A and B are shown apart, each in its own frame.
Chain A
Amino acid sequence: MSSKPNSPAESAAKKKTKTKAKISAEPKSAKKPQTKQMKTGAQIIVDTLIEQGVDTMFGYLGGVVLPLFDRLYDAPINFIIPRHEQGGCHMADAYARASGKVGVVVATSGPGACNLVTGLATAMMDSIPIVALTGQVRTTLIGNDAFQEADTTGITRPVTKYNCIVKDVKDLARTIREAFHIASTGRPGPVLIDIPVDVQVEKCDTSEPAELALPGYKIKPHGNSRQISQAAAAINKSEKPVLYVGGGVISANASKELTAFAEKSHLPVTMTLLALGCYDQSKPESLDMLGMHGSAYANYAVQQADCLIAIGARFEDRVTGKIKAFAPNAKIIHIDIDPASISKNVHVDIPVVGDAKVILTELTKEVEFRQRKEWFAKIAEWKKKFPFRYDNNSSVIKPQYVVEEICRQTKGKAIIATGVGQNQMWAAQFYKCSVPRQFISSGGLGTMGFGLPAAIGAQIAMPNATVIDIDGDNSFNMTMTELSTAVQYKLPIKVCILNNGYMGMVRQWQELFYNKRYAMSHIENPEYEKLAKALGAEGFMVDKKADVAAGVKRMLDEKKPCVADFRVEPEENVWPMVPAGKGIHEMDGLDILESMA
């Protein structure tokens, strides 16, 4: 992220150096008494946000943020009011994921701030840059259990990259600049600033520019050149390499560099859920997603690889399966901006700490093309034998078929948001992405209810794109109130509910590991068609396989927010599946996949 040109933090830094130079250029003797610029805290917040390049914000009002909202009323900022702060936080998150900018969300004290927690934790786990501003009760009341008081910094500390409370209006501008810098550089993440209401009202002189003061925050983007050469040598020597790519490559805007590197050294590429889109899945070298519900060919390749090159990925348990059995024969190279990610879960042979874009550029210079005929032949064989597949012979609608149809009709060009669970895995398996920031999903935290607000945030970031939330019925139920937000802002988002009447992934585990005892995993759903219409959106239901293609077309053609309720096979499973505690080569369901050939 740090090398991204024109990032808000960078342009702010540039601006500042300019002002600084100007000041020092003035002869000291001619020191004019500077005209004081008195501003309220609220005005300072708005001015600093604009200075940081913010033109869109999400958030909800409340008592102790009224001074701020009064200033926002006239500001050149597109302000989106969700129906719940959690929705607002997911919107800011997806806005950041889709645009590469920092997402900004505001909430009031107490319940408002508490409602951000799930959204912040989601962004924290997936390293998404968000700046959250919360109101706080006046400084003299802090600690008194005042109305709508909560220890916001205490509650959000574990789910933010950094947070703080500003008790002096003089610290406000600097702290906001620091927040944008911290959120958007290094390994990105959410930053929260808690601002008591009296600090928003107090005035201070803003004529002196406030410098960043972060002695403990250093980013090293360049990487150790000796380690880069070691990595290149290991790759050049490798007969059976696999490139394992994570969301860090997307945050580093290094998709092009990744592709150039993979092509020059001729490597097969597998992606995590968060990395989908950063390498074109239509290329023959793409192994698609790896891990628990990843492709058999990716998992086999990783397990047999002699060299695994991990970039911006963190060896999460859903990727590695049984950690001791993961990539047993591979020399492991790990490139990451976060030193703490290296050798956290898996022992790394060659670590390179730095920015993915910078390191990939350097690495590309040092690698050589190798044919690796046998290795690619082996991979082609696995790809042929175990593609993602489903049985489409029954008369019932298969969820995978709906996803495939969406992919076909949108030519793989839509922005896809997802819920969490089976719907998410089918979207990942059957929607083939080709560009970064196209697939928007809560990976690390697995936040059900993310899909709809994420689609809204993405649509606001990309007004001309087709944005589709491929959702589950229960994920949708969690945040469906945000449909009303989509209506208010006239966003043409599409919600495709793969409605199976179950918490699908939970039901799948109950089927496989709890003897089909479907404890509490069935929910009576509302009639989504009527619900959508009541909220001012469009809605319809499809329950015949023959109507799926027309249903998808109708959904895509709709100008209003649209909910398409596809009644799919209730007990369909996601295959393949690596059961918990098994190595990723020990997949269940391969026989089922083979029998469909």
Chain B
Amino acid sequence: MKHIISALVENKPGVLAHVAGMFAARAFNIDSLVVGRTEDINLSRMTIVVIGDDKVVEQVRKQLAKIVPVVKVQDFVGQPVVARDLMLIAISAPAAKRPEIFALIEMFKGKVVDIGVKLVMVEISGPEAKIEAFINVCKPYGIKSVARTGTIAMPRQI
């Protein structure tokens, strides 16, 4: 099962290495990990997506909380959350195909952010499933490259 774990950590050097090292040392798999600043200059938020059974994820949560510079850990499983990925994707788009590609982008509420002779670069955000679906529909045209942020999330009704 997929769990989104949100960890508030002190904004100090070495914290990311500590968290990543703990995952490696205890053989937990990270699906994605995003670190960014928060409203508090002293704190960063790590959003970590982990796939595993409940027992494993419970250990992940506890081991994370045990790391000294980790201030707070939440597992969003079973809670209503807003979870988003951001992707930049370069799609092969010869002139003849552009109308249908642009229609797709429109349908997925994506944004064309760069355009060249052969390629268009699209910015698209949303739940992971939507991102995956967009990748799938682009495949027939040829995907040149993909860059994704990984999931960030926040519980609803905050």
Contacts and interface: CB of A to CB of B under 8 A. Distances in A.
Contacts of A216: 9-10, 67-72
Among A158, A165, A338, the one with the most B-chain Cβ atoms within 10 Å of its Cβ is A158
Contact of B63 (A217, A340, A342, A343): A340
A344 interface: yes
Given A153-B14, A157-B17, A338-B66, A343 B71 contact: no
B18 interface: yes
A161 B65 contact: no
A343 B55 contact: yes
A164 B9 CA distance: 15
A284 interface: no
Given A340-B62, A340-B66, A343-B58, A157 B18 contact: yes
Interface string A284-309: 00000000000000000000000000
A162 B68 contact: yes
Nearest to B73: A216
B17 A154 contact: yes
Contacts of A215: 10, 42, 71
A377 interface: no
Contact of B14 (A157, A339, A343): A157
B66 A344 contact: no
A453 to B, nearest CB: 26
Contacts of B58: 343
Given A157-B14, A158-B25, A340 B68 contact: no
Contacts of A158: 21-22, 25
A182 B21 CA distance: 20
Contacts of B10: 215-216
A162 B21 CA distance: 13
Contacts of B12: 164
A192 to B, nearest CB: 12
B29 interface: no
A340 B71 CA distance: 15
Interface centre among A161, A339, A340, A344, by most chain B C-beta atoms within 10 angstroms, is A340
Nearest to B70: A216
A214 interface: yes
Given A153-B14, A157-B17, A157-B18, A339 B68 contact: no
A157 B71 CA distance: 18
B20 to A, nearest CB: 10
Contacts of B68: 161-162, 182, 214, 216-217
Interface string A204-215: 000000000011
Nearest to B13: A165
B59 interface: yes
Interface string A148-161: 00000110011001
Tell me the interface secondary structure of chain A in the complex.
mixed
Interface in B69-86: 69-72
A194 to B, nearest CB: 10
Interface string B1-41: 00000000110111001100110010000000000000000
Interface in A333-348: 338-340, 342-344
A164 B69 CA distance: 10
Interface in A154-195: 154, 157-158, 161-165, 182
Contacts of A340: 59, 62-63, 65-66
A154 B70 CA distance: 17
A182 B10 CA distance: 16
Contacts of A165: 13-14
B62 A164 contact: no
Which of A161, A162, A216, A340 has the most chain B CB within a 10 Å cutoff? A216
B71 A339 contact: no
Contacts of B63: 340
A475 B55 CA distance: 38
A344 B59 contact: yes
Interface string A126-165: 0000000000000000000000000001100110011111
A163 B63 CA distance: 16
A338 B67 CA distance: 12
A417 B72 CA distance: 40
A340 B21 CA distance: 17
A215 B8 CA distance: 10
Contacts of B71: 215-216
A107 to B, nearest CB: 19
Interface string B88-126: 000000000000000000000000000000000000000
Interface in B38-68: 42, 55, 58-59, 62-63, 65-68
A344 B68 CA distance: 19
Looking at B12, B55, B66, the one whose CB has the most chain A CB atoms below 10 A away is: B66
Contacts of B21: 157-158
Nearest to A342: B62
A12 B25 CA distance: 34
Contacts of B69: 216
A154 B63 CA distance: 18
A152 to B, nearest CB: 11
Given A215-B71, A216-B10, A216-B70, A339 B65 contact: yes
B62 A339 contact: yes
Contacts of A344: 59
19 contacts: A153-B14, A154-B17, A157-B14, A161-B68, A162-B68, A165-B14, A215-B71, A216-B67, A216-B68, A216-B69, A216-B70, A216-B71, A217-B68, A339-B62, A339-B66, A340-B62, A340-B66, A342-B62, A344-B59
Interface of A: 153-154, 157-158, 161-165, 182, 214-217, 338-340, 342-344
The 7 closest A-B pairs by CB, nearest first: A340-B62, A216-B71, A162-B68, A215-B71, A216-B70, A340-B66, A217-B68
Given A216-B67, A216-B69, 8 more contacts: A163-B14, A164-B12, A215-B71, A216-B9, A216-B10, A216-B71, A216-B72, A344-B59
